[in-house]
């Protein structure tokens, strides 16, 4: 990362002026605008999270959870999942998964119902997220807070604001993410998945093989269509034995995502749940809500909800919306989890 320029030093642009009298103010203005954009996105995502957890989507949520984790018992292992696991699921669920409502995506249903109530900035962000596809990117270079990415499946380079990723990722790393392209800002989602360089060969082979099968069933199919309909396959690969070949590159503590480790935690959670059920004679199926974490939640949301204790803070400092207050007029969104108290 480049050294921070001090106020009274010559401006890096070469104007001959001091930094404070030249580019410092422009950079501060740009930084303020970016912060405002992130706050707008935070508010938008909060609304989308709430919408996705409304009762009409209960059955879709359950089915999506099973599909994403590739296991019909996955709902029972809910407590084994960490904030990033849930954020990755949620990002896919609202953006790519087709619902029972005429096979429309939640993000599209939200846009139709709530779009007229959004601020112009939020509407721009929503439209960009509707178009963004989950793909596999390779990090070519880190320039300060900017990342230079190349799409390994659809080709093309992207210069994006990396934020926290610029501090943990290095050239050669892989990112499973969406590129959100706005007029004045290009960034990636907070639910991005960082993988080591060693994962590239196996993951590409796996995805390309599934793409060829998809093309056999869908005439003239392209990568865009495949990624929109089948992006859950990325997670299937990360959970599978195929990932064992490069798992040794993940050393604890590590910023890289360990899908097999997640699968092992889920298996242990299911075993513990069954042991508890037998010991306490808990009924086979009881309701327990699934609450999806936000990737950008503003401080104002935390303050507004403080009296309801809606938010908790993870060990990583991520603000997570907690269990929503029940509405007496309607059943709260839930996912059936065997052996868990409601």
**Most confident range, picked from 76-90, 157-171, 221-235:** 221-235
For 193-253, the DSSP string reads EEE-GGGHHHHHHHHHHHHHHHHHHSTT--HHHHHHHHTHHHHHHHHSGGGHHHHTT--SS
Q: What percentage of the chain reaches a pLDDT higher than 90?
A: 49
Instruction: Give how far Cα 193 sits from Cα of 26, 117, 120, 121, Å.
Output: 32, 32, 29, 26
Mean pLDDT of 49-57: 89
pLDDT value at position 201? 96
pLDDT value at position 18? 77
The yes-or-no verdict on residue 254 having pLDDT over 80 is: yes
Mean pLDDT of 150-179: 92
**Most confident range, picked from 5-19, 230-244, 328-342:** 230-244
Q: Which of 71, 67, 111 is nearest to 89 (CA)?
A: 67
Mean pLDDT of 158-167: 84
Q: CA 114, CA 97: separation in Å to the nearest integer?
A: 19
Does an H or E element contain 90, and which? helix 83-95
Q: What percentage of the chain reaches a pLDDT higher than 70?
A: 76
The phi and psi torsions of 321 (rounded to 5 degrees) equal -65, 130
Between 250 and 202, the higher pLDDT residue? 202
Q: Per-residue pLDDT tens for 56-77?
A: 998 999 899 999 999 888 888 8
Q: CA 290, CA 76: separation in Å to the nearest integer?
A: 11
């Amino acid at each position: 990362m480049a050294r921070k320029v001090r106020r009274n030093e010559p401006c890096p642009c070469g104007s001959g002026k001091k930094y404070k009298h030249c580019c410092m103010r422009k950079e501060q203005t740009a930084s303020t605008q970016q912060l405002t954009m992130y706050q707008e996105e935070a508010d938008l995502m909060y609304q989308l999270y709430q919408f996705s957890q409304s009762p009409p989507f209960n059955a879709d949520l359950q089915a999506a959870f099973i599909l994403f984790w590739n296991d019909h018992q996955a709902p029972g292992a809910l407590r084994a999942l960490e904030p990033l696991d849930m954020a990755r699921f949620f990002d896919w669920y609202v953006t790519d998964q087709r619902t029972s409502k005429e096979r429309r995506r939640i993000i599209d249903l939200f846009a139709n119902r709530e779009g007229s109530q959004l601020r112009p900035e939020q509407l721009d962000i929503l439209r960009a997220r509707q178009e963004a596809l989950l793909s596999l990117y390779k990090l070519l270079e880190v320039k300060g807070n900017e990342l230079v990415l190349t799409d390994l499946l659809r080709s093309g380079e992207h210069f994006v604001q990396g934020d926290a990723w610029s501090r943990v990722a290095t050239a050669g790393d892989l990112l499973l993410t969406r590129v959100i392209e706005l007029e004045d800002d290009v960034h990636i989602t907070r639910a991005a998945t960082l993988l080591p360089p060693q994962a590239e060969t196996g993951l590409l082979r796996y995805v390309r093989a599934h793409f060829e099968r998809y093309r056999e069933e869908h005439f003239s199919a392209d990568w865009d269509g495949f990624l929109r309909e089948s992006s859950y396959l990325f997670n299937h690969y990360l959970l599978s034995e195929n990932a064992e070949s490069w798992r040794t590159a993940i050393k604890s503590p590590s910023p890289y995502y360990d899908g097999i480790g997640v699968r092992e935690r889920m298996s242990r959670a299911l075993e513990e749940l069954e042991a508890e059920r037998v010991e306490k004679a808990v009924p086979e199926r009881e309701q327990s809500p699934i609450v999806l974490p936000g990737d950008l939640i503003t401080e104002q949301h935390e303050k507004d909800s403080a009296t309801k204790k809606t938010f908790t803070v993870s060990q990583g400092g991520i603000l997570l919306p907690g269990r929503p207050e029940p509405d007496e007029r309607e059943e709260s969104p839930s996912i059936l989890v065997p052996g868990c108290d409601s």
